[in-house]
Every structure is written in structure tokens, then in C-alpha cells.
Amino acid sequence: MTKFIERHPLWSFTILIAVAAALWLLFATWPPGLEEAFGRKKVFLSAVFNGITLGGLYFLVASGFTLIFGLMRNVNLAHGSLYLFGGYIGYAVSVATGSWMLSFVAAFIVVALVGVAMQILVFRRIEGQDLRQTMVTIGLSIVFADLMLWAFGGDFYQIQTPRALVGPMELPFVTAVKSSGEAVYLQYPMVRLVIFAASVVIGVAMWLALHRTRIGMIVRAGVDDRDILAAMGVRIQLVFALVFALGAGLAGMAGVVGATFQSISPGEDIRFLLASLVVVIIGGMGSIPGAALGALIVGLAEQLGSVYIPTYAIVVTFLIMVLVLAVRPQGLLASR
């Protein structure tokens, strides 16, 4: 941190100004001139919160994607299908049992098993051939998409939010001041905040598991050099299967989250595949903190873009990706 400031004083200053401006925008009561130019503060705050919570969802999807890539060099383009499948499983379970928590568990387990099956039956046979593996995942995504369309049809499904989490929550952010001088605080759906908190916990847990446990050490060693790791006597195929299970299971859980936040339908698989791709391109392939940063940036860009420049929103996300590729092609937080 101090090294960065010493080396790039100008950049640090710019970043500091930007952070201060962002904090001021979030916490201060906006003067009337700003409200006229920029719209109401409530709209801005909601967009920011939507962006951050959407970023949490993107992180859940993209962290599995980046984990699988980091260890196995496998660009799993069927990751969006796993997300959608998890959503469908979660919906079926929540309708059958009425339990929201159970739908997470079921989606995680079922989709993790699908991931293990993919790793063992398909990818193990063509190990070390990146491009062919990627092509296979494209074929699988087509097959999965059509099978799911067959089984679930083209309808929209939404998972019922549990009663305890329904309703808004008041946050300590002033949106406006009434003429009586009383401050109006932001109301925000509780379920989104809870899910965001959960994705932060999952992210931190993953980071701790990777950096503080033995299995995490093995996985990190595998990211650096899997041949040497195998030569050291580690049963690398077992590690591969486990990581694939974890990555796929996270995508499945994210599907349940997505089905609660928004809804799921055919086509969502591609939307979330795109999100994961952009997130990991921005954040850096194979890096969990990178996925978190990328998810936050993409979520915010998407939501703020769709509020302030509705018909060009996707261009903002895309331009960010282009900028990152131009300045730092390996991604913002990539280790290599």
C-alpha cells in the first residue's frame, strides 16, 4: 500500500479524490443543483445498491469460473448452463418442500455432481488440450440449454423469498430532507442485502480456504505448476474433481440466488456466462480477489448505466473491458 503511494503519487491522489467524491455522493444530502443535473438521490442510491448486490451475484458465478480456469486451464463455457440448472433445481426443491435454505443445498449438491461428472467423463480424457476442452464446453452448453428447454419450457420461474426476509430495510443513507427538516432514509429490500452479505462471507471463506489450509495450498500449487505437483505425489485428479465440484456448485447456488433476485428463463445462461467472462477478464483469470473486484465493477457499471444511459448501458461495461485489456491485458488483479 505505502509502496504503491510512493511509486505512483499522482495515481494515489486521483484515487483518493475519486473515493472521497464517491463517499460524498453516497452520504451527503445532495444540493438542489446536483439533483437537477443528475436526477434524484434516491434513484442514484438504489442504482448503487442494485449494482453492489448484483456484483455479489456475479461474484458467486464468476468465482467458480475463475477457480476452475486457474487450476485446470479449462475455460468452462458451460458455466452459464450450470447457473441456470442450479436455478431450476432450486425452484423445483423450493416448490416441493417450501424451504428456501434447502433449495440452496440441493442446487449446490446436484450441480456439483454434474460438474464432477463433466470433469471425470469428459475433461479428463482430453486433459492439457485447452482449446478442445473449451469447444467441448460449448457443445455441452448447447446440449444442456436444449435439454433444459425441453424439461422446463420457456417460462419464467421465480423462487419465493422466505417470509422472514421479505420487505424493506432502512439504511443509514439520507436520500432527501423533508421541508420539516426530517431526514428520509433509504429503504432497500432486505433479501438482497442478506444475499450480498452471504456472498461476501463465501468470498472470504474461499480466500481463507485457499490461503490458510492444506488443500488450498495444494490448489495454489496446482495453479502454478500442476505437473510438478503431480510428481510430488499429490492425487491431482482428485483435486481437479473437488475444485470442479466446488466451482460448479457455486454456480448452482448462484442460480438459486438469481432465481430469487430476478427470475430464470432460457437465455439467462448466456447472460451470466457473459457476466462471468467480463468479470474475469477485468479482474484477472484465476484470481478470487480479482473476481470480486471485477464483479463489483461490472455490477455497478451495469446498474448505473441502465439508469443514466439506458440504451447504451452494455457499452459502458464493454468499454471498461476494452480499457482493462488495453492497459493491463492480464486483468487488474492477476498474479501473472
Partner 1 sequence: MSITQDARLQPDPLAAAPPMTGLARADFGNPAAWAVGFILLVMPLIANGFFLIEIFGTTLILGIVALSLMFLAGYGGMVSLMQLTIAGLAGYMTAVLGVSGNANISLGWPWWLATPVAVALATLFGTVGGALAVRTEGIYTIMITLAIASAFYYFTNQNWDIFNGHTGINSIVTPHFWGVDWRADVPFYYVILVVAALCFGAVGYLSRAPFGLALQGVRDNPRRMAALGFNVNAHRVAAYAFASFVAALGGVLQVWNYRQISPGSVGVERAIDILIIAVVGGVTRPIGPFIGALIFVLLRTFTLDFLVAIGLDGNRFRLLIGLGFLVIVLFSPDGIVGLWERWRRRGEQAPVPPGGDRHG
Please, what is the end-to-end C-alpha distance for the chain in angstroms?
Answer: 19
How far apart (Å, rounded) are the C-alpha atoms in residues 34 and 125? 60
Segment interacting with partner 1 (CB under 8 A) among 96-104, 213-221, 254-262, 279-287: 279-287
Of the two residues 202 and 270, which places its CB atom closer to partner 1 in the complex?
Answer: 270
Of the two residues 146 and 224, which places its CB atom closer to partner 1 in the complex?
Answer: 146
How many other CB atoms are found less than 10 A from the CB of residue 306?
Answer: 17
Residues 202-261 that bind partner 1 (CB under 8 A): none
Binding flag, residue 105, partner 1 (CB under 8 A): no
Of the two residues 6 and 155, which places its CB atom closer to partner 1 in the complex?
Answer: 155
Burial-class residue 11 by CB neighbours within 10 Å (0-12, 13-18, 19+): exposed
| The one among 72, 110, 140, 300 contacting partner 1 by CB under 8 A | 140
| The one among 147, 151, 205, 232 contacting partner 1 by CB under 8 A | 147
How far apart (Å, rounded) are the C-alpha atoms in residues 157 and 216? 36
Binding flag, residue 285, partner 1 (CB under 8 A): yes
Of the two residues 211 and 336, which places its CB atom closer to partner 1 in the complex?
Answer: 336
Of the two residues 29 and 129, which places its CB atom closer to partner 1 in the complex?
Answer: 129
Amino acid occupying residue 2: T
Helices (H), 162-225: 190-212, 214-224
Binding flag, residue 150, partner 1 (CB under 8 A): yes
Binding flag, residue 307, partner 1 (CB under 8 A): no
Residues 168-197 that bind partner 1 (CB under 8 A): none
Binding flag, residue 291, partner 1 (CB under 8 A): no
Of the two residues 23 and 142, which places its CB atom closer to partner 1 in the complex?
Answer: 142
Of the two residues 52 and 135, which places its CB atom closer to partner 1 in the complex?
Answer: 135
Residues 68-87 that bind partner 1 (CB under 8 A): 73, 75, 77
How far apart (Å, rounded) are the C-alpha atoms in residues 122 and 132? 11
The grid cell for 247 is 466451482
The grid cell for 220 is 495454489
Q: How far is the CB of 44 from partner 1 (least distance, A)?
A: 21
The grid cell for 37 is 443535473
Q: How far is the CB of 134 from partner 1 (least distance, A)?
A: 6
| The one among 8, 125, 211, 235 contacting partner 1 by CB under 8 A | 125
How far apart (Å, rounded) are the C-alpha atoms in residues 193 and 229? 40
Size of the site for partner 1 (CB under 8 A): 46
Of the two residues 45 and 77, which places its CB atom closer to partner 1 in the complex?
Answer: 77
How far apart (Å, rounded) are the C-alpha atoms in residues 131 and 139? 12
- Structural contact between residues 202 and 61, judged by C-beta atoms closer than 8 angstroms: no
Burial-class residue 1 by CB neighbours within 10 Å (0-12, 13-18, 19+): exposed
Where does residue 182 fall: left (phi above 0), alpha (psi -120 to 50 degrees), or beta otherwise? Answer: beta
| Interface pattern 316-335 for partner 1 (x via CB under 8 A) | -xx--xx--xx--xx-----
Query: Measuring CA to CA, which residue among 145, 176, 158, 146 is closest to residue 42?
Result: 176
Of the two residues 126 and 198, which places its CB atom closer to partner 1 in the complex?
Answer: 126
Binding flag, residue 136, partner 1 (CB under 8 A): yes
Query: Measuring CA to CA, which residue among 123, 125, 97, 94 is closest to residue 107?
Result: 94
**Cell 447472460 belongs to which residue?**
271
* Contact positions vs partner 1 (CB under 8 A): 73, 75, 77, 122, 125-126, 128-132, 134-136, 138-140, 142-143, 145-147, 150, 270-271, 273-274, 277-278, 280-281, 285, 310-315, 317-318, 321-322, 325-326, 329-330
